[in-house]
């Protein structure tokens, strides 16, 4: 066999005694030795004889001469020509070693000999016929095909004659062999001389393994058989492999099926020239043939961005969301194209595919991508996204964490409670706004459960989960008022202040003046958290004394109580508190200060000329981003004031992305001749969200003066999505 003769391991045969059938029998057994892989002919014979003489000294009495493919075994000492140990035992070892070295014919003392000449038999290798099919060739050994075992020479003779047993063995393996075996047989299919080759090839054309299908397609090259052509048409229509489609198209076109010529564009997708690939891809999209869709998957991994882009376009055009979802699992996919792919899948796919798109966005996507994915997960209640959303709770961007939490609240999966509770604890001492929002979303999950389930959750070993469950009970008051109020009043006496706070939180949200009056009994509670909830209860009531109580509580020494009182004053619009609120607008606690400004905004008259400076200076330059965003909103109420565009425009270069985006949104609806140029400052920001907001503002304003800035942006920008948007905006001006 060619592969054996070219290997680094070669065989020699040595007489050894072995147990066979319970009897001791001496046979020639193969042993291996290492030699140069390129050894053949006399050089290999010399190496083999040298190795044999090292392990079996008796062969030294023999002399071997090689001429072409024939070898003669002679005896060095004439006296030993009749010695069985020499001319039978030793000569047999040499004979089998020579045959293993590729010698075709052997003579002993000038007389031809074969396997039957020697007393001892030999243990020969038996290989399956699939391993010795040409161009491989077994020089010495046995070949098995089906139930038949034959010598190598006999096998090759029968193969050349189209032996029926070999054909049966081949067909059996074509039907039930491994993909590797099937592929090996298909490469040599014509050697078996099948009477009806087409009949035996057709089933392989639809084999589940793509490698087998490709080998079968190669085997039908040049065929004009109608049955084969029909199967090829089906391959073009339904096979997921672009390579299979290309091979099928070649055969069809060669058979005169000219309507398939345009399918040859598939082959051009493999061109090394980007221009050729792009032209072919656009042609395939224009053809609007669903059969072409899967060919675009491979383009997603192309080194050229334009080719990746057209790959995405093609898959989107043919709505191959399943293929797109699978492509997201490829870690080598370009991040930019992967995110856009995930967006399409999350927006347009359904079921498990949609979940894959969402999961990629919230865990691996950019900030904007993650926000998009979380929004889709919540709005569409996408099943299978809870684990990914829980992972997103650990992301560094606060807005993403909140978006993930909101989505989890809409999915109502209790499995998210403990991870959310962990994050709430981590946020303690940090941003109170984020923590409160996170709590609201977690509470929504418990609210979606039955009262019995909520009470069960309120007994969790996780104290934060217990708090959340207790806080959720307020939502059950309509159907279970007595039980809920009784449970909460009992919890107000808990030794753990955190539980008392949670109970006060829930009671404060029950619209019942009697509940509020009972809570007022604890207005001097030592815990500021409880006092803060009492302030909320008062704001939530219809008590006549509520405004005065809230104004008084605004003077509480603790920031939590102050904040709650200010929120209450805003909700009740207690106008008499406005002067005092303005005095508190510079309080050092950001969370309190934000609520103060919100209350002022709620009680102020929008567009009041007397308040412009307050919003454009004090509020717009506050350290808290949320207050600056509020200032921008209030300044938008002064569209006729010439100072407005400049004031809001200055916020376009703020340090906070949220403020920048708010400023750009405000500029987009501001009818001022300079609004467009102010918005253009956002085109050169580092953040994609800001750039996108700037483009949207410019698009709404439609001010021609911005064109030069847009053109400069398009020259500099590298993000494909932003460039596309920029070109669209420029065209609209």
Cβ-count burial of 160 within 10 angstroms (0-12 exposed, 13-18 middle, 19+ buried)?
exposed
Instruction: Determine how β-strand 70-75 pairs with β-strand 105-108.
Output: parallel
Q: How confident is the model at residue 137 (pLDDT cuts 50, 70, 90)?
A: confident
Rounded CA-CA distance 393/390 in Å is 5
Rounded CA-CA distance 262/289 in Å is 11
- The pLDDT score that the predictor gives to residue 131 is 92
Q: How confident is the model at residue 8 (pLDDT cuts 50, 70, 90)?
A: low
pLDDT tens-digit profile of 287-327?
888 878 888 998 999 999 999 999 999 999 999 999 999 99
Match 């709590």 to its residue by tokens: 439
Q: Judge whether 634 and 603 are in contact, CB under 8 Å.
A: no
Residues across the chain:
733
- The pLDDT score that the predictor gives to residue 4 is 42
Rounded CA-CA distance 432/584 in Å is 19
Rounded CA-CA distance 696/705 in Å is 16
- Averaged pLDDT, 78-90: 91
Rounded CA-CA distance 462/445 in Å is 16
Whether 269 has a pLDDT exceeding 90, the answer reads no
Rounded CA-CA distance 163/145 in Å is 11
pLDDT tens-digit profile of 632-685?
999 999 998 999 999 999 999 999 999 999 999 999 999 889 999 999 999 999
- Averaged pLDDT, 87-108: 93
What 3 state SS string does 330-386 have? CCCCCHHHHHHHHHHHHHHCCHHHHHHHHHHHHHHCCHHHHHHHHHHHHHCCCCCCH
Q: Judge whether 590 and 624 are in contact, CB under 8 Å.
A: yes
pLDDT tens-digit profile of 494-545?
889 999 999 999 999 999 999 999 999 989 989 999 999 999 999 999 999 9
Rounded CA-CA distance 686/668 in Å is 20
- Averaged pLDDT, 185-203: 93
Cβ-count burial of 286 within 10 angstroms (0-12 exposed, 13-18 middle, 19+ buried)?
exposed
Phi, psi of 586 (to 5 degrees): -115, 15
Q: Judge whether 67 and 9 are in contact, CB under 8 Å.
A: no
- The pLDDT score that the predictor gives to residue 143 is 95
Q: Judge whether 55 and 31 are in contact, CB under 8 Å.
A: yes
Q: What share of the chain is helix, strand, coil (3-state, %, to 5)?
A: 65, 10, 25
- The pLDDT score that the predictor gives to residue 2 is 44
DSSP characters for 150-194? EEHHHHHHHHHTT-HHHHHHHHHHHHHS-HHHHHHHHHTGGGG--
Burial call 435-450: b when 16+ CB within 10 Å, e when fewer: bebbbebbbbbbbbbe
Rounded CA-CA distance 137/104 in Å is 13
Q: How confident is the model at residue 270 (pLDDT cuts 50, 70, 90)?
A: confident
Indicate the angle between helix axes 226-238 and 210-219, nearest 10 degrees. Answer: 140
Q: Is the pTM of this model over 0.75?
A: no
- The pLDDT score that the predictor gives to residue 266 is 81
Q: Judge whether 55 and 15 are in contact, CB under 8 Å.
A: no
With H, G, I as helix, E, B as strand and everything else as coil, classify residue 38: coil
Percent of the chain residues past pLDDT 90, beyond the cut: 78
């Amino acid at each position: 066999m060619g592969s054996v003769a070219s290997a680094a391991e070669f065989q020699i045969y040595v007489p050894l005694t072995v147990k066979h059938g319970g009897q001791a029998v001496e046979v020639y057994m193969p042993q291996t030795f290492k030699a140069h892989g390129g050894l053949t002919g006399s050089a290999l014979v010399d190496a083999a004889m040298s190795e044999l003489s090292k392990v079996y000294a008796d062969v030294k009495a023999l002399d071997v001469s090689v001429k072409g493919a024939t070898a003669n075994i002679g005896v060095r000492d004439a006296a030993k020509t009749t010695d069985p140990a020499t001319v039978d035992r030793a000569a047999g070892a040499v004979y089998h070693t020579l045959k293993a070295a590729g010698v075709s014919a052997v003579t002993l003392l000038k007389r031809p000999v074969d396997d039957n000449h020697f007393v001892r038999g030999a243990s020969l290798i038996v290989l399956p016929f699939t391993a010795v099919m040409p161009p491989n060739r077994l020089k010495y050994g046995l070949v098995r095909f089906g139930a038949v075992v034959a010598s190598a020479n006999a096998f090759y003779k029968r193969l050349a004659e189209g032996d029926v047993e070999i054909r049966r063995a081949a067909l059996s393996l074509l039907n039930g062999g491994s993909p590797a075996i099937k592929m090996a047989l298909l490469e040599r299919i014509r050697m078996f001389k099948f009477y009806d080759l087409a009949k035996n090839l057709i089933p392989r054309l639809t084999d589940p393994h793509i490698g087998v299908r490709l080998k079968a397609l190669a085997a039908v090259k040049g065929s004009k058989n109608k049955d084969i052509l029909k199967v090829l048409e089906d391959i073009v229509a339904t096979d997921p492999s672009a390579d299979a489609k290309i091979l099928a198209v070649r055969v069809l076109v060669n058979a005169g099926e000219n309507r398939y010529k345009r399918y040859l564009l598939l082959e051009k997708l493999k061109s090394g020239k980007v221009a050729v690939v792009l032209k072919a891809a656009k042609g395939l999209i224009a053809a609007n043939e669903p059969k072409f869709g899967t060919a675009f998957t491979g383009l997603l991994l192309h080194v050229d961005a334009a080719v990746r882009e057209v790959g995405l376009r093609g898959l989107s055009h043919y709505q191959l969301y399943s293929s797109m979802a699978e492509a997201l699992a490829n870690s080598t996919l370009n991040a930019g194209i992967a995110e856009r792919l995930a967006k399409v899948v999350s927006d347009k796919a359904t079921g498990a595919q949609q979940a894959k798109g969402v999961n990629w966005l919230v865990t691996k996507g950019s900030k904007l991508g993650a926000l998009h994915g979380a929004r889709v997960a919540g709005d569409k209640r996408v099943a299978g996204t809870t684990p990914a959303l829980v992972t997103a709770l650990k992301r560094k961007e606060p807005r993403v964490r909140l978006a993930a939490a909101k989505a989890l609240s809409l999915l109502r999966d209790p499995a998210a409670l403990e991870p959310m509770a962990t994050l709430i604890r981590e946020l303690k001492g940090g941003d109170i706004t984020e923590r409160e929002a996170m709590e609201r979303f977690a509470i929504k999950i418990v609210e979606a459960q039955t009262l019995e389930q909520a009470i069960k959750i309120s007994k969790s070993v996780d104290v934060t989960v217990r708090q959340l469950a207790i806080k959720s009970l307020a939502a059950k008051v309509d159907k279970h008022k007595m039980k809920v109020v009784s449970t909460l009043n009992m919890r107000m006496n808990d030794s753990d202040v955190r539980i008392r706070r949670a109970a006060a939180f829930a009671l404060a949200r029950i619209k019942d003046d009697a509940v509020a009056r009972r809570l007022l009994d604890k207005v001097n509670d030592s815990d500021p958290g409880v006092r803060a909830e009492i302030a909320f209860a008062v704001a939530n009531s219809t008590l006549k004394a509520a405004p005065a109580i809230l104004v008084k509580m605004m003077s509480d020494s603790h920031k939590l109580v102050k904040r709650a009182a200010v929120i209450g004053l805003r909700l009740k619009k207690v106008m008499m508190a406005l002067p005092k609120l303005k005095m508190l607008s510079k309080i050092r606690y950001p969370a309190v200060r934000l609520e103060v400004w919100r209350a002022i905004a709620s009680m102020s008259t929008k567009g009041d000329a007397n308040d412009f400076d307050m919003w454009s200076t004090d509020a717009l330059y506050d350290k808290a981003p949320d207050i600056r965003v509020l200032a921008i909103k209030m300044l938008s109420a002064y569209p006729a004031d010439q100072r407005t565009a400049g004031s809001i425009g200055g916020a376009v270069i703020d340090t906070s992305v949220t403020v920048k985006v708010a400023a750009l949104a405000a500029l987009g609806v501001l009818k001022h001749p300079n609004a467009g140029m102010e918005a253009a400052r956002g085109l050169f920001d580092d953040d994609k969200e800001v750039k996108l907001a700037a483009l949207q503002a410019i698009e709404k304003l439609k001010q021609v003066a911005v064109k030069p800035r847009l053109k400069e942006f398009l020259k500099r920008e590298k993000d494909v999505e932003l460039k596309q948007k920029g070109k669209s905006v420029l065209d609209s001006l």
